[in-house]
Amino acid sequence: SETKKIAVLAGDGIGPEVCDEAIKVLKAVGKIWGHNFQFSKGFVGAAAIGETGDPYPVETHSLCLNSDAILFGAIGDPKYDNDPNAKVRPEQGLLRMRKALGLYANIRPVTAYEALLDSSPLKHERIAGTDLVIFRELTGGIYFGKPSGRSENDLEAFDASLYSRQEIRRIAIKAFEAARKRKNKVTLVDKANVLATSRLWRDEVKDLHQREYADVELDYLFVDNAAMQLILNPSSFDVLLTENMFGDILSDEASVIGGSLGLLPSASVGDSSALYEPVHGSYPQAKGKNIANPIATILSAAMMLETSFDMVEEASLIRQAVQDSLNEGVGTEDLFKSNPSTTNEVGDYIAGKILEKEKV
Ligand code: IPM
Ligand code: MN
């Protein structure tokens, strides 16, 4: 079959370890279905600063442009966190990459797994049945607005937030399309009682809804209330649609529902490129210890198969294998404190489940 070129930007901290396990699982899928996945590594983040002085070097950008999909690990290094004035920071690489590749829609699904209902700090009965997805706008808003900086006298700082109708519309289309394949409901999260950008979001989303997606249920929540509803009644949500900064905050909050940040995958897509990465960060304390949870990255690989390659059955087999591992208590220490498996063991187990299919 046709070769799929996958750029692997493993990045910093535990990034390389979790990417290796996702590659292991993709290879198992390739073996069973006869797909040819070709992996090419590129530098990003602190690792790239070390190599080239740039957290998103031009070679990495070319590699991404020449690939069918990107698997991303994590970036960030304590060296930079403790120095807020550092001129070059790993995060800049991530933001530049999102912009340069036009990855405007960040998709973050949150599922409450049956086997983990008691590991969440939230009550079992509150989170049972949760299956939601956050559509976070990723290349606009306060993250990228100009002006941003300090006043000349250094007594003030400012970050402008700007959205165009077109930026809102293109991600809203993706959210409505996704809702049609799910529970057919979109909740727009904003702060329209205060912010002009939020009022533009409402305007544009309402208009699009009336004209093209009237069959989808649409409701609105102010972000402060949404933050509360998300932990009080998470199973009431289907698709949450929101701007860059609100989506950043709500997706970390929502991760608590699943029981561990180590479970949450994501996709960042645009009109041409697509990048798949775990929601968690580089977890530097765990680097090299073989204790990091690889499931978020493995599930990100499943999103890649489904979204970029239209390999729906393959993706669902990965998800099934992940469920099996959770049901059988095979997981890292963030999930199973008493008898944890290593990063490698979890990857081996999930890849093994997939390879078993051959025997059937
Ligand atoms: C995320 C991260 C990034 C963001 C940081 C590292 C710039 O928190 O992907 O959610 O804020 O977008
Ligand atoms: Mn974040």
What percentage of the chain has pLDDT greater than the value 70? 99
The predicted structure's pLDDT at residue 21: 98
How do residues 297-332 score in pLDDT, each as one tens digit? 999 999 999 999 999 999 999 999 999 999 999 999
Would the pLDDT of 195 be above 90?
Answer: yes
120-258 shares the fold of 1-106+261-360: yes
Distance 185 CA to ligand 1 centre (A): 26
Whether ligand 1 lies within 6 angstroms of the CB of 253 is answered as no
Would the pLDDT of 360 be above 70?
Answer: no
The predicted structure's pLDDT at residue 86: 79
Q: Which residue's alpha carbon is at the smallest distance from atom 8 of ligand 1?
A: 248
Say which of 56, 80, 104, 143 is annotated catalytic. Answer: 143
**What residues form the annotated binding site for Mg(2+)?**
224, 248, 252
Q: Which residue's alpha carbon is at the smallest distance from atom 6 of ligand 1?
A: 91
The predicted structure's pLDDT at residue 359: 52
The predicted structure's pLDDT at residue 84: 66
Mean pLDDT of 145-156: 97
Whether ligand 1 lies within 6 angstroms of the CB of 248 is answered as yes
What percentage of the chain has pLDDT greater than the value 90? 88
**What residues form the annotated binding site?**
98, 108, 136, 224, 248, 252
Residue 224 catalytic? Answer: yes
In this structure, CATH architecture of domain 120-258: 3-Layer(aba) Sandwich (3.40)
Whole-structure pTM value: 0.94
Distance 39 CA to ligand 2 centre (A): 27
Distance 248 CA to ligand 1 centre (A): 7
Which atom of ligand 1 approaches the CA of 252 most closely? 10
Domain residue extents for the chain: 1-106+261-360, 120-258
How do residues 60-105 score in pLDDT, each as one tens digit? 999 999 999 999 999 999 988 777 677 888 888 999 999 999 999 9
CATH of the domain spanning 1-106+261-360: 3.40.718.10
The predicted structure's pLDDT at residue 108: 97
SS (HEC) of the chain: CCEEEEEEEEECCCHHHHHHHHHHHHHHHHHHHCCEEEEEECCCCHHHHHHHCCCCCHHHHHHHHCCCEEEEEECCCHHHHCCCCCCCCHHHHHHHHHHHCCCCEEEEEEECCHHHCCCCCCCHHHHCCCEEEEEEECCCHHHCCCCEEECCCCCCEEECCCCCHHHHHHHHHHHHHHHHCCCCEEEEEECCCCCHHHHHHHHHHHHHHHHHCCCCEEEEEEHHHHHHHHHHCHHHCCEEEECHHHHHHHHHHHHHHHCCHHHCEEEEECCCCEEEEECCCCCHHHCCCCCCCCHHHHHHHHHHHHHHHCCHHHHHHHHHHHHHHHHCCCCCCCCCCCCCCCHHHHHHHHHHHHHHHHHC
Judge contact between 90 and 77, C-beta under 8 A: yes
Would the pLDDT of 294 be above 60?
Answer: yes
